[in-house]
Structure 1
Amino acid sequence: MSMHRKTITLTEQQDGWVKRQIESGHFGNDSEYIRDLIRRDQQAQERISMLRNALVEGESSGESKPLNISAVKAAGRKRMKAAR
């Protein structure tokens, strides 16, 4: 994977925060911290996209039916047993 150099500008408060994250041992340097933030943002955006797609799928699946809570609980118990 090729790397690209970027220049960013931080406030003193932000720079202090990044330095404290490095000093605490969570990250080796500024770049590791920034890359971690980008990865987390990418994951969050992916989760949001999946949720939006699920909502669209649900909305287009037709009319809703009354909820049978007993059936939902039974299905959940069945799934829990199968996962063991």
Structure 2
Amino acid sequence: MISADLGLQLESFVSRLVETGRYNSKSEVLREGVRLVQEREARLAALDGSIARGLADADAGRTKPADRVFDRLEAKYRAMAQPKE
């Protein structure tokens, strides 16, 4: 069992969530909070992996000049902005 001191502000917030019926118990609020942190950490880990792959690609020379990429994107979005006939 985990016991945590949330401080007055967070404790009051959790109590209001339960009192208003948004959650059934303080434990339910805390479980939801931990789940949200878990999801965020998973997204951050995926981002870290993407950054590492990008840096490895750059180190290995698997890159394209920025001006070519920007030109391609600009052409793409100009074409998207053209009215369809």
Task: Give RMSD over aligned pairs.
Answer: 1.8
**Which is higher, the Rg of structure 1 or of structure 2?**
2
Identity %: 23
- Per-residue Cα deviation, 1:31-83 (whole angstroms, up to 9, x for no partner): 00000110000000000000010011111124321302136x5xxx8xxxxxx
Unaligned 5+ segments in structure 1 are 78-84
Q: What is the deviation of 1:21?
A: 1.2
Which consecutive aligned stretches of 4+ in structure 1 deviate over 4 angstroms post-superposition? none
Q: TM-score with structure 2 length normalisation?
A: 0.68
How does 1:5-24 map onto structure 2 within 5 Å? Answer: 5-24=1-20
TM-score, normalization: structure 1? 0.69
Question: Normalized per residue, which structure has more helix?
Answer: 2
Size of the alignment, in residue pairs?
Answer: 69
Q: Distance in 2 between the 1:6 and 1:39 partners? A: 15
